[in-house]
Structure 1
């Protein structure tokens, strides 16, 4: 980036040296080279929307097409594909979710799995007429809740949350009670990256006799999750963000072991049958988490995430989280230095313990700034009102990438000569 004054040049030089030192000391820096395109000049701030592919995934897909699909053909179903949603689910549970085997299944889209679980949860609490959720939850979560409420004649109990934060324990306590069937909330808020108190809110709901359904889409693979230890009932999440499963990769659903025989999901299909090939006259749900399946599982689309799960397992979620905190903390440090003097405000928690893997910066001109950044090969995303959201995928993002991107934001916001 060209600067117009000696002072600015000196400032940029100092920032570059700081970023270089952070990259030099980063124990995970070498993993960046494993991702396609990470060494290019493009600055990628959207890893929380679509992660970069791993280079090894191209080989995996080629081998699958040639040997498993092309070589085994229909035999693949008997040999391994029928069980793949459960096998990959267990891998995901072990590496990222803190879930014992037999509770996670991979299938469908996040919207479909969310609907299945929410519909099953309210059916399990038939005498309770309310679904609790917050006004700033991700749109799909709100839309699905509205649809389920219409179908079942239920009432939505909205919690007004600060867009720069998210649902707090105190807010949940003010609305959860004997009328609550289920609380629907996000572990990490999609706009602000606020980290909700999952064990606290879950315990609060249980005391009231309600269930809780957690959306992990913006935390899985970036923020440690302990579903079993937190006594979570149900959870859902996507795999194309920090799990790098690719565009349209399937979602996952978690059902705690204690609920498996209690919850009946509403989209009965042959793959969720206790004996899929019986082809009988009625539907008997599988006794395990397989009951969450409906149609044919997306075998091909499950392949890429297996490479990322193997990488995260090798690195360890504590190290991934440490890098994530380092990147977002550095982004806030730079924003304070470069952007706050230009009228930008931070719409994410400053406390790293309350912040997930992205940071949102607000300014009235951010919509046009984001459009201009894309033309400069700097790729964040935009979220109303006036929010530039930078998602920093820990294993594929460098500190210097953060510096270069935020210096471009400053250049676009800085008044012209």
Structure 2
């Protein structure tokens, strides 16, 4: 073992021993044989409490109460759980957040509603070429459907969208600005308050994608007068594979925005089952179909955990984990030519760090075979997801040492 690897492991041991959130790692189900799991920003690990809650749901609310559980608890679950996410993770007052649908469907609903509200005098959607594919694809589909015009920003891929870049694209024709709060590749944190202010100054609405920030980076939607937001729950919120998305609509927009997927569960009187559609009041009107109860059951445990330790503490550990990775690259991986392609400034970086090297596509496959699980992002990036509640410095160190060993082995 090299001296650099030994020093890195020693540092990780010291940091784990003094980590204020070290106790939360024991709340997660163990993964026997796993050396390091660094893909929690794609799929979070399950809490022990979530496994128990799912079993209780099957045996109790579903198995015993059966259809009665809709009246007793499930009908209001999208709104109640939405309020919990809003309160703990989004800085949103009650009555503005709802859970349901996939991220793609929720994004379509809110973006389509925003385009309609902006009207034909403001046909432009401002978005960026580095955003997650779903956001770009949904916008392209809406443009084809409505005649909206796409205005593309081209940020530095290793960084992200800046206020200056957005300001240069805003005109009197801008209807909606669609951006991600944290970039899915680089982890760049966009200046949500300033970009929102600039868009409003230009008379446009803003729709923020919070998939890579919710539960790890505060967004304070109400305080910053955000119009609309969407996000997923299977990353830092621990909802599990296929867990539904959430949508946020500021209270003052709810009367004038009309989402396009008119399903029975969003009706003002769903059980009347009348001949025509009348949207429910508030966020009820942004629900479409039957809530995915099984996919929602695990979210609340993680939201409760975030509330118990404080979102600021989660954010602080995410920054410290990222700093640990960045400082380790020079000492351990610099001789290999490994590059950090995420922001070096802790204030500008979300909950992951992306490293790049020409051989990382093959290295990534070897890591998975050896039970070290990061993510790969084109063209040559290994993305280390640093979920603060479940990730130790020790497993991050083991992953970096493994990268060094694989590169040395050729």
Question: Which bin holds the TM-score, normalised by the shorter protein?
Answer: over 0.9
In the TM superposition, residue 24 of structure 1 has moved relative to its aligned partner by 0.7
> CA offsets, 1:190-217, max 9 Å, x none?
0000000011011101011100000000
CA contact 1:38–1:397 (8 Å) conserved in 2: no
CA distance in 2, matches of 1:258, 1:39: 49
Counterpart of 1:80 (choices 63, 73, 77) is 73
CA distance in 2, matches of 1:364, 1:15: 24
CA distance in 2, matches of 1:158, 1:27: 42
Correspondence for 1:254: 248
Counterpart of 2:225 (choices 204, 225, 231) is 231
1:327 and 2:321 are equivalent in the alignment = yes
CA distance in 1, matches of 2:15, 2:143: 49
The number of residue pairs the alignment matches comes to 409
1:363-374 → structure 2 map (5 Å cutoff) = 363-374=357-368
Which stretches in structure 2 are left out of the alignment for 5+ residues?
Answer: none
Correspondence for 2:301: 307
Aligned CA-pair RMSD: 1.0
Counterpart of 2:310 (choices 307, 316, 340) is 316
Normalised TM-score (structure 2):
0.98
CA contact 1:37–1:52 (8 Å) conserved in 2: no
Correspondence for 2:57: 64
CA contact 1:183–1:210 (8 Å) conserved in 2: yes
CA distance in 2, matches of 1:174, 1:21: 47
1:136-175 → structure 2 map (5 Å cutoff) = 136-175=130-169
CA contact 2:192–2:219 (8 Å) conserved in 1: no
In the TM superposition, residue 340 of structure 1 has moved relative to its aligned partner by 2.0
Correspondence for 2:353: 359
1:182-331 → structure 2 map (5 Å cutoff) = 182-331=176-325
CA distance in 2, matches of 1:71, 1:41: 37
In the TM superposition, residue 415 of structure 1 has moved relative to its aligned partner by 5.5
Normalised TM-score (structure 1):
0.97
Correspondence for 2:22: 29
In the TM superposition, residue 224 of structure 1 has moved relative to its aligned partner by 1.2
> CA offsets, 1:269-317, max 9 Å, x none?
1111111112111111112011111110111211111111111110110
Which stretches in structure 1 are left out of the alignment for 5+ residues?
Answer: none
Correspondence for 1:94: 87
Correspondence for 1:116: 109
In the TM superposition, residue 39 of structure 1 has moved relative to its aligned partner by 7.3
In the TM superposition, residue 40 of structure 1 has moved relative to its aligned partner by 5.1
Question: What secondary structure does 1:277 align onto?
Answer: coil
Correspondence for 2:171: 177
CA contact 1:38–1:396 (8 Å) conserved in 2: no
1:399-410 → structure 2 map (5 Å cutoff) = 399-410=393-404
CA distance in 2, matches of 1:248, 1:336: 37
CA contact 2:5–2:332 (8 Å) conserved in 1: no
CA contact 2:151–2:169 (8 Å) conserved in 1: yes
